[in-house]
Amino acid sequence: MGKRKPPRRIRDRERQPEIPKPQPIPKKGLIRTLELAIGIISLALTVAGFVLNSLPKLSVDVSGSLQPTSPMGTIFYLSNDGALPVHDVVVTCGNLEIAGQNLRVTSLGAEFPAPPEARANILSPGHKMTLPYAPAFGFTAISNFTGAQLVISVHYRPDYVPWKKIAVFPFKAERTSNGTWIWKSLPQ
């Protein structure tokens, strides 16, 4: 029988050193789920805030005139063109400026108190509310007007929040060639 050879030993210099590979730190399932849930909730709240903030669609328009030859004979109305009702509606008028020959009347930025006709507990979608302001100023007797401006402010509470908001609608009166007056909305 032959002699067995002892197993050959590998010298240290011939061995390749083993480099440990970095192991990713495993995230626990609960932490990953919480991060995903917080991300989804944040996104949903951001989208909901944007949508709900832009939902009230109020507008102020002109419905006609009691005295077409006077800028203050025009009737304005507030319309809720949105999908949700608005609450605690109070419509004020201010920044009134009336100009005529040798005459200038201005409210110096003050708002006139809202009469009962300019208030509503609720304004439902698709409904309109007549505003009493233009004829109430009592300037319809002045026949030499050259211009007029006013700002209508709507204070209201949207259906889904506990605080009030304000929508502002500036208008300017222009005289037509036949002497009648037309109120036009100014950019905000």
Digit-by-digit pLDDT tens for the chain (188 residues) are 566 766 666 555 555 667 777 776 666 777 888 888 999 999 988 887 776 666 778 999 887 767 666 666 778 899 998 888 999 999 988 887 777 666 666 666 667 778 888 899 999 998 999 887 655 454 444 556 677 788 889 999 988 788 898 999 998 887 777 877 788 888 87
Contacts of 112 (CB under 8 A, 6+ apart): 92, 93, 94, 96, 133
In this structure, the chain runs to a length of: 188
Q: What is the residue extent of each domain of the chain?
A: 24-54, 57-185
Rounded to whole angstroms, the Cα distance separating 86 from 166 reads: 12
The helix or strand, by DSSP H or E, that contains position 52, with its residue range, turns out to be helix 29-54
Top CATH class of 57-185 equals mainly beta
Q: What are phi and psi of 170, to 5 degrees?
A: -85, 145
